[in-house]
Structure 1
Amino acid sequence: MSDFEHVWRTAYRHPGRWDDVFPPVSMVTLFEASTAAHPQAPLLDFMGRKYSYAETLDGARRVACGLKALGYGPGDRIGLFLPNVPHYVAAYYGILMLGATVVNFSPLYSVDELSAQVADSGTKLLFTLSASALLPTALKVLEASALERLVVGSIAGALPAAKSLFYRWFRGSEVTPRPEEPRILAFSRLIANPGQCESVAIDPERDVALIQYTGGTTGTPKGAVLTHQNLSANARQVAQLDPDMGKTQDSILGVLPFFHVFANTCVLNRTVLTGGEIVMLPRFNAKQALAELRRTRPRSLPGVPTMYQALLDAPGMKPSDFSSLKFCISGGAPLPAQLKEEWERITGARVIEGYGLSESSGVVSTNPYDGLNKPGTIGQPLAATRVRLVDKEDPTRAPPQGEPGEIVVSGPQIMQGYWNRPDADAEVFVDDHWLRTGDVGLIDEDGYIRIVDRLKDMIAVGGFKVFPSQIEAVLYRHPAVKEALVLGLPDAYHGELPHAYVVLDEDVEPVSGPELCIWLNGQLGKHERVSEVVIRDSLPKTMIGKLSRKDLLAEVRGEA
């Protein structure tokens, strides 16, 4: 038992008990039980078109039966290359009903990034949209990988009739026609069945529901393997935090992307569990988000700090726009104290800072919805979640008394391991399946956790994880680049932004920093793009000649 567990047993600030137990439940059972309880209640509101629980469940069953007819079944990996659209929800639960495994892919991925993760996961079929920002990338991956099929949906088909007509008339340039070839199937054709195929038995603790890619401790993408029980337990843990749960109609503005583990748990799975309604937006746009807040009057708004800042800065914003909000969950990046104070003052809604990882199904700890919030902390652990500190150099022993240590976690939401990476599992787990987070923290006398440093080089850009080594690898492809290091530096809006520092090869035609920046950003995902490329005469190195990111950061901070 850790030194802090007695605090969480005796002075737990969340509803329920810290040592509660969450019996094994499959994600399919969770969805079907919620639908049985209120079949006609709205689950999704997409631009004004509502989908009830019964309608969404029927769509998911049709997806499962359509996939089964194509020859797919338990254990197959099926990918979602989708923004927040109704197709995502039907495909997500349909894949799970089939006994197959969902693989989430960011719509921001480049062809190379998507190809690499499709290959690594063994994804056989990919769901996407006819949007020009998605389909051309998916088509290139289909041609250059072992991917067998694409299922292509239409945004227009998911909109209310009037908006659908407007989209077809005026936004045709944003749509790429779906090629007519056997490997590419329309979503509407896939679900053209009664949805009555035989159900599949699911073992919640053994069957893999989701492979969620994360950079891990080295920056190399790895797939976190999450079972049905991992996901359903985290959904129940998160739902239990709300002191008003079951006492009021639950509604949530879903602008966080579902492909991200934060939204997957805190928006999608948790709201399905509670019988609530999700107001969906395909992507975050401050003006559109404000319009949806005014139209639908949701009760909660999970987000990342940059999103809250953008809403406060949006032209035409009025405090009354936020009057329906009661709780706003902030994650993905540290929440500045000034932003928290300003948001709560203007909106009247409480911002609750939490913490989690892909490897923990989304959430490890949060500040309480009601009661003592400690700015700059990530609160107390969720129920059934154990947290302790280990020495930063030797995770097999405790840190010196009173000193920070690496945060390690165990609980029902912790992944089984990384997909086909036993070597990485050996590095990330200690003792009996305790997860090393790579974050360094302290736990105070009230059991509140504070992150003070991180062992990882990961850069947090508006809630997305960006890894310097991947950007550096692209830089080294340029013939003029001799040495390169990428740092994450503070940014008032994004939290952090990547900045690149390079030494040029004197034997090659020189290139300017701005020119190199344009060349580099053209090959990166939108969330990875660097703020600048700085040309330097040299980069700091360790005693053995290795480029030193730590020393460069110290130099840059000194210059600033």
Structure 2
Amino acid sequence: MASPCWERFYPPGITADFVPARETLSAFFIELVERHGDQIAIDFNDHQISYRQLGALAARLADGLKQRGIGPGDTVALYLPNSPFHPAFFFAVLLAGARVTHLSPLDAVRELAFKCRDSEARLLVALDEPPFADMALRLLGEGAVARLVLCDEAIAFSEQSTPTARSVGPANVECACDLMANTADTLVAAPVAADDVAVLQYTGGTTGEPKAAMLTHGNLTSATRIYQAWFSNDINSGPHAVVLAVLPLFHIMALVSILLRRFADGARLVLLRRFEVTKVLTLISRKRITGFAGVPTMWIAIANHPGVENHDLSSLQRISSGGAPLAVETHERIRSLTGHALRGGWGMTETCAAGTNLPVNMPPGKEGSVGLPLPGIMIDIVDPDQPQRTLAPGDIGEIRISGPNICTSYWRRPAETKASRRGDALLTGDLARMDEDGFIYIVERKKDLIVSSGYNVYPLAIENALLEHPAIAEAVVIGVKDAYRGEAAKAFVVLHPGKAPFSLDELRLFLSDRLGRHEMPQALVFRSDLPKTSVGKYSRKMLRDQDAANGME
């Protein structure tokens, strides 16, 4: 079989037919603890934990879970921010043979309760501080879960070899030190297979109830090894890398491309609970950060931060952005500050984050691309109405993807599973085009498509054009009802500091050689900020809800 056209842009020694080993995450973790030993795995608030210490912590937690009857077939819900307890409990649950489901601190109580019940979580693990503990106790009180473990971060750095139990309240509530009392720190994995479910990862829930992708051990380890292969020749790969982890580990992108991939390399993760621009800039300088992945809002904050030039960013070797387009001005500003171009790619929950990525040797003329299919992954563009028909280069259609990292099912959603599958391939719902070299350009999500006067209008294309305006820092476009056109584009923008507002007619004049008449926004709203998801991506769903609520006032 001939190699795909995009293979010639791959790093040396990497081929498109790469086949990652099928592993369990528990065996994966035990091996990396043994291999990296006393190297620092986590730096959190200047406390450092080695791989060996992390392994011992996870082993004790796993032993405690098993003593409480948690094992194969069970689900444990993690309600944790970027804390050492996240990786410790993540691997502990897997060592016990159970599966993980992640909860977001931005979720409302109804959605948290739904995820706990839908995933059949037997145990909830939460940080022992507001708002996590308060919400966890409420979920317990409402019967969404039967047991709760609260985590005091000081325990993660305890010098005690055998933590002493202490009472924190009702019998069905205990602290992490209770869980670790009278346990062994020997890494032992319960028997599981690569095809067993490791994580029930809920998708964004932008329409209707959220659904959980059933990610197997093999899916997640395959995605990790695919990333490792792709970055094997990258200057910022390997045990010398110091990576700032501010993207939330409960999100699939950070879980796989930062936590799992970087742990596999033996790198050091500098964990940060939340993005604060001054703290991020200080950490990059003080900790000599070599790698940092963010979302557009983070890079905009850095680019616009007063005095950013006074911070030493010279240690950075690789930076990336994803989730939404960035203004050209912001791209160039970050390049001038760091000496590096922002890289990125495309992926989704169902692909364990791995899908495409931009190669180091980017040929000219590929601006706006999300990159090439990663090694071991096959992508083509198909007709959304006839997904068995592959489209020609340049035609817009739906991304169809297959590979060992692709989940095969949604948890308890047989109809949605059937609708999203074509053989061993996943229909992603993302509209895109692929050029003659295999570079992919995302056009839109199918559900966000605007049909205006019978024409397909893509919000992302309008957003990209808006971001070329020198006054616009952020932009989101949604479709709204229009008596004449059926639907029309409505633009919401945030201006750069110090820039003055302008009229809709002035904006249309600027866009006149960038967009077609059918694509022109019919309404313009200036805002101080735009709604975002837990990972910092712009949320059209939240914006539509806010706009509808404002229209009813």
Measured against the shorter chain, the TM-score band is: 0.7 to 0.9
Contact 2:113–2:144 (CA under 8 A) maintained in structure 1:
no
State which of 203, 213, 225 in structure 1 corresponds to 2:202. Answer: 213
Q: Which position in structure 1 is the counterpart of 2:124? A: 126
Shift of 1:27: 1.3
Matched, 1:93 2:91: yes
The 8 Å contact of residues 56 and 187 in structure 2, kept in 1 or not, is answered as no
User: How many Å apart are 1:146 and its aligned residue?
Assistant: 4.1
**2:389 counterpart letter in structure 1:** R
Contact 2:6 2:438 in 1 (8 A): yes
1:80-130 CA distances to partner (integer Å, 9 max, x unpaired)?
100000011100000111111010111111111100111111111011012
Q: Kindly report which structure 2 residues correspond to 1:42-57, keeping only aligned pairs within 5 A, or say none.
A: 42-57=40-55
Aligned: 1:265 with 2:256: yes
1:31-53 C-alpha deviation (Å, 9 max, x unpaired): 22222122000000001000000
Match of 2:26 in 1: 28
Q: 1:419 aligns with which of 401, 405, 411?
A: 411
Distance 1:7 1:525, change over 3 A: closer
Match of 2:230, SS state, is coil
Amino acid at match of 1:396: Q
Q: Distance in 1 between matches of 2:105 and 2:222?
A: 27
Deviation of the 1:20 alpha carbon: 0.9
Aligned-pair identity (%): 32
Change (3 A) 1:442 1:129: same
Deviates more, 1:81-90 or 1:331-340: 331-340
1:203 to 2:196 alignment:
no
Residue matched to 1:345:
336
Q: Which moved more, 1:97-106 or 1:314-323?
A: 314-323
Question: Corresponding residue for 1:550?
Answer: none
Structure 1's 239 and 110: CA in aligned 2 closer, same or farther, altered over 3 A?
Answer: same
Partner of 2:76: 78
Which segment drifts farther, 140-149 or 7-16?
7-16
Q: Decide whether the 8 Å contact of 2:74 with 2:121 is kept in 1.
A: yes
Q: How does 1:402-481 map to 2 (within 5 A)?
A: 402-430=394-422, 432-457=423-448
Report the secondary structure of 2:42's partner residue: strand
SS in structure 2 at match of 1:137: helix
Structure-2 separation of matches of 1:61 and 1:534 = 49
Corresponding residue number in structure 1 for 2:454: none
Offset at residue 321 of structure 1 (A): 2.9
Distance 1:439 1:199, change over 3 A: closer
In structure 2, relative to structure 1, the CA distance for the partners of 1:286 and 1:537 (3 Å cut) is: closer
What secondary structure is seen at the aligned counterpart in 1 of 2:62? helix
- C-alpha contact 1:65 1:197 (8 A) present in aligned 2: no
One-letter amino acid of the structure 1 residue matched with residue 266 of structure 2: G
Q: Deviations over 1:20-70 (max 9, x none)?
A: 111211112222222212200000000100000000011111111000011
Q: Could you tell me which residue of structure 1 aligns to residue 175 of structure 2?
A: 186
Distance 1:67 1:426 in 2: 35
1:358 aligns with 2:349: yes
Could you tell me how far 1:370 is from its partner in structure 2?
4.4
Q: Which amino acid aligns with 1:201?
A: P
State the partner residue of 1:238.
227
The answer to whether the Cα contact below 8 Å between 1:82 and 1:259 also exists between their aligned partners in 2 is yes
> Counterparts of 2:151 and 2:489 in 1: how far apart (Å)?
39
Q: What is the rounded CA distance, in whole Å, between the counterparts of 1:344 and 1:490 in structure 2?
A: 27
SS of alignment partner, residue 346 of structure 1: helix
How far the C-alpha of 1:338 sits from its partner, in A, is 3.2
Change (3 A) 1:56 1:486: farther
Q: Map Cα deviations across residues 432-469 of structure 1 (whole Å, 9 max, x no partner).
A: 221111111111122100112220239999xxxx9x99
Shift in Å, 1:350: 3.0
SS at match of 2:343: strand
Q: How does 1:324-403 map to 2 (within 5 A)?
A: 324-372=315-363, 374-399=366-391, 402-403=394-395
Cα 1:60–1:251 change in 2 (3 A) is same
- 2:152 matched to which residue of 1? 154
Instruction: Report the Cα offset of residue 196 of structure 1.
Output: 4.0
* TM-score of the superposed pair, with normalisation by structure 1: 0.77
Tell me how far apart the structure 1 counterparts of residues 48 and 87 of structure 2 sit (CA, whole Å): 13
SS of the residue corresponding to residue 51 of structure 1 reads: strand
Q: Which residue of structure 1 aligns with residue 472 of structure 2?
A: none
The amino acid that maps onto 1:419 is W
Contact 2:352/2:405 (CA < 8 Å) preserved in 1? Answer: yes
Instruction: Determine the C-alpha separation between the residues in 1 that align with 2:12 and 2:414.
Output: 36
Counterpart among 143, 157, 165 of residue 145 in structure 1: 143
Deviation, 1:145, is 2.7
Distance 1:15 1:438, change over 3 A: farther
Q: Give the 3-state SS of the residue equivalent to 2:292 in structure 1.
A: coil
Partner of 2:501: none
1:201-245 deviation per Cα after TM superposition (whole angstroms, max 9, x unaligned): 2211x1111111014784531000101111111111112222236
